[in-house]
Structure 1
């Protein structure tokens, strides 16, 4: 990660829709508002689902990248 240290990390490699977003929903509830969560996934549908999740629930998608057949997301938790 290039900028700030994440508060938590969620590895969803090998899981398929809807599991990564369900796990994300649970994990983001465990961190402080303003905290960062890095998510690693292999399911291409997360490229659509995770930005929609953030937009719908008021979280900031700080970073989104694809590397070595994995998708990486850094999410800043918004106000609950």
Structure 2
């Protein structure tokens, strides 16, 4: 997959609900449409909250993976 948009990374490790979603929302609001945000979180609730947030706000969740306690989301800004 060849993208013309750069990928931003937002490390939210250690933050608990609702902060990961709130901080991701703030960062996405400042990004250009089509840009990709990689979010790193450790709050287990993020596995539920982040997909729900993307669905509600119209962003596209490209990928969701887990590596031990670390959750990684790749989101395309609407």
Q: Give how far 1:8 is off.
A: 1.0
Normalising by structure 1, we get a TM-score of: 0.88
Aligned to 1:74: 74
- 1:36 aligned residue: 36
State the TM-score, normalizing by the size of structure 2.
0.90
Aligned residues of 2:10 and 2:39 also touching (Cα < 8 A): yes
Which contiguous aligned blocks of 4+ residues in structure 1 show a shift greater than 4 angstroms? 2-6
Across the two proteins, how many residue pairs are aligned to each other? 77
Query: Aligned Cα RMSD in Å?
Result: 1.7
Stretches of structure 2 that go unaligned for 5 or more consecutive residues are: none
Structure 2 Cα separation of the partners of residues 69 and 19 of structure 1: 17
